[in-house]
Amino acid sequence: MYTYIFILLISCAITLPLHAGATYLAARTLRYTQLSYKHLLLVSTAMLLGAGAVQTITYFLLGEISAYLVGITTSVLIFNHLYKKRYGGTNWRIAGVWMVQHAYFLVAALVLVIAVRGLFVQPFVMSGQSMSPTYSAGDYLLIERVSTKHERGDIVVHKYPQDRSKVFLKRVIGLPNETVAVQNGVVTITTPEGETFELNEPYVSEQNRTNDNLTMLLGADEYFVLGDNRAASSDSRVWGPIQRSDIVGEVWIRMFEGQ
């Protein structure tokens, strides 16, 4: 629930200024003068809240299609009332501003989505059960690509070392220059300073543990990764460590759970 509230707040923080800016450009295109960006921001806020509330109520009462049509109608009526009250003009001219504004907004939103997806965030849909019970098949995740320093316990999307056209989702277990030992399902870490400790892994259930026996010394840019469901995971036990450059990003949030 808190995740969706956070996403809603972020969406509003991005959408409202963008929407107001598109309205400003549309009005200028249709030769309106003495425009107030602050007022247009209030108009955009009123449209979003009013149309959103009416559309939500209609959705529960009449269904998706009716909600969509009612939402658009409400948006037009609110915009027409608030815009005409401040700047004047015929209903047709204001409708023209509304349509041009949406064209500008869609173009700007598309450019923003492409930029954000390419540089900062990308979606990832979980397949298989290698990360169960933490994540399951069909979970829709958002991966942030900004972090460059990865800690033990981080869940990362990385390129498959034997075929870099494929990506996997695994948990970071061993860090660069550490020695990782797996004995009968228990993971032991030896740090570069010589400290040795058993890794506490509450995310691995007893039935998902395996009887692996291996020891691996990691290089300066290597990470040892494992799936939480050890019995159903192909990971560093099979194909060795991954390079720092193989890591695409870390899991940020789970948007939707799989079926």
Q: Where are the domains of the chain?
A: 2-119, 123-256
Residues in the chain, pLDDT under 50? 1
Give dist(CA 35, CA 21) in Å, integer: 11
**One of 44, 75, 132, 170 is an active-site residue; which one?**
170
Give residue 248's pLDDT. 92
CATH 2.10.109.10 fits 123-256, yes or no: yes
Phi, psi of 242 (to 5 degrees): -110, 155
Cα–Cα distances in Å, from 191 out to 86, 203, 227, 258? Answer: 67, 22, 21, 37
**159 among known catalytic residues:** no
**One of 44, 130, 132, 233 is an active-site residue; which one?**
130
Give residue 259's pLDDT. 65
**170 among known catalytic residues:** yes
Give residue 31's pLDDT. 76
Give dist(CA 168, CA 175) in Å, integer: 18
Give residue 24's pLDDT. 81
Give residue 55's pLDDT. 82
Query: Quick one: which of 135, 155, 139 has its CA closest to 147?
Result: 155
